[in-house]
Chain A
């Protein structure tokens, strides 16, 4: 009986601690000056990969090394990413996850969030909703709207519905 109470109290304390850590990780942080930042890119199939490579084209070489996550059956994305990277060179650390909507990005982003909650590393999560989402967010978008550091939309209708999102116009 006493043992059960102690266990329950311990579980409660851990839950409170995790909730506090989650709040700390999700609140806005001031930019930390840096010279480079490593990037983890979640590439979904076909159109998602095309869009995200367009976003990456304009990023400077300070965003490196760049790591990509793709589905193991997605040879087309592997090919596109290899072609994209063939002229670029790698460099140094930091940490950011960049994704644009495939369902595969949700567990990746949650893992990144967990690193922050556990105090291992603060990973910046940047989510860019696909241009094909004009009036409604994708399911990944709805989930990650609350968990990402920067949530970017590409149509004014979405900015109106989600005022806390970032709208830069069409960026692909």
Chain B
């Protein structure tokens, strides 16, 4: 459930947009692969529509506070058209370059490859930007965090779009592609998001116990 993040033109735009959209203290956790920009075969996404009912999501991002930290997971981007060997120091350099930040001005930025758990990082986050994998979505939404997902259109017939669209329709997150992320970050309003109800795995175990004849 931990993901890759790589540098490149799309990553730079997204990071710069993030800075402009969130001038105050927020501590986003950035997860997910942002694929290389490709001019070929890109489908325009329908613009995300704000849900009609008002919000009930707790812990919404406050735009008055300053950006204080960023957690980035960086590993080699696997499975894309032109994978980029991506060491943490390379991502760090790119990040500072496009942001024009120095470590002292931007607060704590930490980079990680695989971690056993992102629980703690998610706990502290005010905003999560992730790829639209089911595990990432579920984990962030269960922590009641404002979530924006970036769809990996190149993965398996763009199947991430289905879940992202449904969860957006239900009012739980915003979604975009790498190209539309900057625009979304500037326009999104997290106060419109709704809390995500927890899944019920006990229904699965009860069903299975019954059909296989397990005696109590």
Judging by beta carbons under 8 Å apart, are B214 and A35 in contact? yes
Nearest residue (CB) in A for B167 is A134
Judging by beta carbons under 8 Å apart, are A131 and B138 in contact? yes
Chain A residues within 8 Å of chain B by Cβ, number: 45
Judging by beta carbons under 8 Å apart, are B207 and A33 in contact? no
Judging by beta carbons under 8 Å apart, are A33 and B138 in contact? no
What 0/1 pattern do residues 194 to 216 of B give for CB contact below 8 A with A?
A: 00010111111101111111110
Q: Is A106 an interface residue (CB 8 A)?
A: no
A141→B135 CA distance, assembly (Å):
19
A62→B205 CA distance, assembly (Å):
11
Looking at chain B's contact residues, is the secondary structure mostly helix, strand, loop, or mixed? helix
Q: Is A99 an interface residue (CB 8 A)?
A: no
**Total contacts A-B at CB 8 Å:** 107
A79→B117 CA distance, assembly (Å):
12
Nearest residue (CB) in A for B138 is A172
Judging by beta carbons under 8 Å apart, are A131 and B204 in contact? no
Looking at chain A's contact residues, is the secondary structure mostly helix, strand, loop, or mixed? loop
Stretch at the interface among A13-21, A44-52, A110-118: A44-52
Contacts of A149 in B (CB 8 A): 211
Contact A34 B212, CB 8 Å, known A46-B1, A168-B203: yes
What 0/1 pattern do residues 130 to 172 of A give for CB contact below 8 A with B?
A: 1111111010000000000110100100000000001011111
Q: Say how far A112's CB is from chain B's closest CB, in angstroms.
A: 14
Q: Is B26 an interface residue (CB 8 A)?
A: no
> Would you list 18 pairs from A and B whose C-beta atoms are within 8 A, ordered by A residue?
A31-B212, A62-B214, A63-B208, A76-B114, A128-B204, A132-B134, A132-B162, A133-B163, A134-B166, A135-B162, A138-B159, A150-B207, A150-B211, A152-B207, A169-B199, A170-B200, A171-B200, A172-B134
Residues of B that sit less than 8 Å from A by CB: 1-2, 114, 116, 133-136, 138, 159-160, 162-163, 165-166, 197, 199-205, 207-215
> A46-B1, A62-B209 known; 7 other A-B pairs, CB under 8 Å?
A46-B135, A59-B205, A124-B211, A130-B134, A133-B162, A150-B208, A172-B201
